Each structure stands twice: as C-alpha cells, then as structure tokens.
Amino acid sequence: MIEIRDLVFDYPGHRALHGVNLSIAASAITALVGPNGAGKTTLLRLMAALETPYDGRVTIGGLDTREQPRAIHEQLGYLPDFFGLYDALTVRRCLFYAARSHGIGPGEAKGAAEAAASRVGIAERMEQPAGALSRGLRQRLAIAQAIVHRPKVLLLDEPAAGLDPQARRDLSRLLLELRDDGMTLVVSSHILAELEDYSDRMVIVDNGRIAGGESIALKGGNRLRVTLAQAKEGLADFLKAHGAEVLETGPDRAVVALAGEADARAALLAALIAAGYPVSEFAQDTQALEKVYFARVRGRP
C-alpha cells in the first residue's frame, strides 16, 4: 500500500532520513517505533505528503506524494502528535467541517459526522464545545475527524500519549476495528507497551534508518507457543519428532515453528494430547515487541 524508496530528508545541517526503503502492507497495523528524534514523525509527515523529500519517493496506492499530494490527501487520514481542535465549535460542527473539507457533500456530511462520532464513542457529546472535552475525548474527536471521510490509510503519530488505561484500551479496540474494515494504519510511538496489543508489523526507525532494513511481522506466521499444565520430560524431542522446529524450550513450555496450515497444527495438538502431555495452551505466538526492538537496536538498551 505504501512504498518508500531511497527516501532522504534533510533539515538544515541535519539529515533526518538516510535513504529509507520500506513497504507497508495494506489492511494491517504497522507500528513505527524508535527513540525520540529517530525520524518517525518526519517519516509520517513524508507519507502524509506534508513534506517534500530531498531525494527518493513515497507512493501510496501507486500515487507519488511529490507529484499528486492532493490525490493522496483524499485517501488519507492523519493525526499529528500535537494536534489542534477548534475549541469554540461543538463536536458536531467540528466533525461536519472535517467531513465537508474532505469533499463530502452537505447532504451526507451530517450522517458522516454522526457515524464517525459513534465509531469513537463520542456520539452523546455532539453538542459540547471541543474545548470542554477531556484529554481522552479530545483524542477521540481528533481521530473521528481523521476518519470521517473513511480514508484508505490512517497515519497516527503518538495517538495514545496522555491517555488513561481505559482510553488506551478503547483506542486499541478502535484501531483493530478500523483494520478489520480494510484500513491500512501506521502508528508511531516510542512507548512499546501501547503498540503490542494491536500491531501486526513493526518498523524500527533508528537514527534516520530502518533497523534491520525492513518491517518485522509480529503476528501471524507459523510460530506456535505450547504450554503444559505440569512439566514433562521430552517435550522438545517430541515436538522435533513431529516436524516442528523448536525455537525456545523449557520443562513446561516451548515455542516452535511449524510448516503447514490448520491441519498440521491440529495434528500436532492431537499427538501431544495422545502422548499424555497436559497441554494448557496451544496458540499462535506473538513476538514480544520489546524483545524484538532491543534485539534490533543494539547498543540502545
């Protein structure tokens, strides 16, 4: 969906991005992580066609940000890290304006505003001025403004900053819903814990470069986690004998890579149970974000 090739961006006296190459998959949530000042926000702004690269190119859905920035804006939603709202306007008017300014006709804008408000859970606040909303509700309104025109791509820069745990959980749920609707999301953050719940892939930006040179799959794939209710000898050997590659092992647990689809997993589980292993968990393994992050960004604990 998003293709970045040899992207270079300079600030006066400082190169922010050094020939970045990256592909971002459609209908997935990609986490953009890295230390402060690594270049995440610059990369997001370049994806949003808000900045012009010094060299290289960014294409979204085949459109070049340098050549067709406005066409890209039509299919894009963007929430900057420090966003503003029209505090004197009601939520309804904020969303109506956002809808109209994204080309939705006057007749449909009202419905689009209400749909976006419902989606982020602020439908009952429609007549409140934006300036009277709490931090979390302002964040939801800002996201509603960004999605009111149902963009294909949503870019979020530090969306959970300053949110309480409940609001973060609601945000995670919302992002997953948007992804399930087919939206491509890129979420930037330097707080790894908040990304773990919903990210499918991770891109580590470090000092203006992509650590490891590509995005990393966090979910899906063929990694399986097997946990036993009680420790039992020979778990690793048993798994190997049944075609699994053992990646991590312990007396009561193992992480394996297993070729094949659902049938292969069902067969392995059946074999474990038949052999008397007290299986308490047999699930697809999600890589711990923090673990992967520090493995890639060496020397930056």
Partner 1 sequence: MNPELQRNLWLEASPFRLALIAGLLLLVFAAGSVATTGLMNTPRAALGLYWFFAVLWGTRSAALSVVVEIRERTWDSQKLSSIGPWTMVWGKLFGATAANWFGALVCLPFILWPVWHDDGAGAALLYGVILLSLGVFAQAVALLSSLVLIHRQTGNWRLDMFLCQVAGIGAAFAYYSLWSSIRAFRESGTTTLAWWGHDFTLGSFHLVSLLLFLGWALIGCWRAMRSELRFANGPYVWLAYLAYVAVYAAGFYAVFGVEILGNPSAATHGLRATGARLIDENHIPPISVPLALAGLILMGSVYGMAFLEAKDPVRLRWLGDQIRTGRWYSAFLAAECWMLSYAATLIAGLALAILWAGTPAAALAVLAMLGFMTRDICIFLLGRMFGGPKGDFGALGILAALYLLLPTLLRHAHATFLLIPGPHTDSLLSVMAAWAQGLGFCYWVARVIRDRAPRS
Interface residue list for partner 1 (CB under 8 A)? 10-15, 18-19, 48-50, 52, 54, 69-70, 73-74, 76, 78, 80, 82-89, 93, 97-98, 100-103, 106, 145-146
Indicate the residue among 139 and 172 with the shorter CB distance to partner 1.
Answer: 139
* DSSP annotation of 244: P
Minimal distance in Å, beta carbon 101 to partner 1? 4
Minimal distance in Å, beta carbon 68 to partner 1? 9
Indicate the residue among 49 and 235 with the shorter CB distance to partner 1.
Answer: 49
- E strands along the chain, which residues? 2-11, 14-24, 29-33, 55-60, 63-64, 76-79, 153-157, 184-189, 201-206, 209-210, 216-217, 223-228, 245-250, 253-257, 279-284
Q: Per the structure block, which two tokens stand in for 12?
A: 């006066």
Minimal distance in Å, beta carbon 300 to partner 1? 21
Taking the C-alpha atoms of residue 69 and residue 52, their distance in angstroms, rounded to an integer, is 10
Q: Per the structure block, which two tokens stand in for 263?
A: 């049938």
Indicate the residue among 146 and 292 with the shorter CB distance to partner 1.
Answer: 146
- E strands along 105-183, which residues? 153-157
Minimal distance in Å, beta carbon 69 to partner 1? 4
Minimal distance in Å, beta carbon 49 to partner 1? 6
Q: Per the structure block, which two tokens stand in for 185?
A: 């999301």
- The burial class, CB within 10 Å (0-12 / 13-18 / 19+), for 224 is buried
Indicate the residue among 87 and 290 with the shorter CB distance to partner 1.
Answer: 87
Indicate the residue among 77 and 255 with the shorter CB distance to partner 1.
Answer: 77
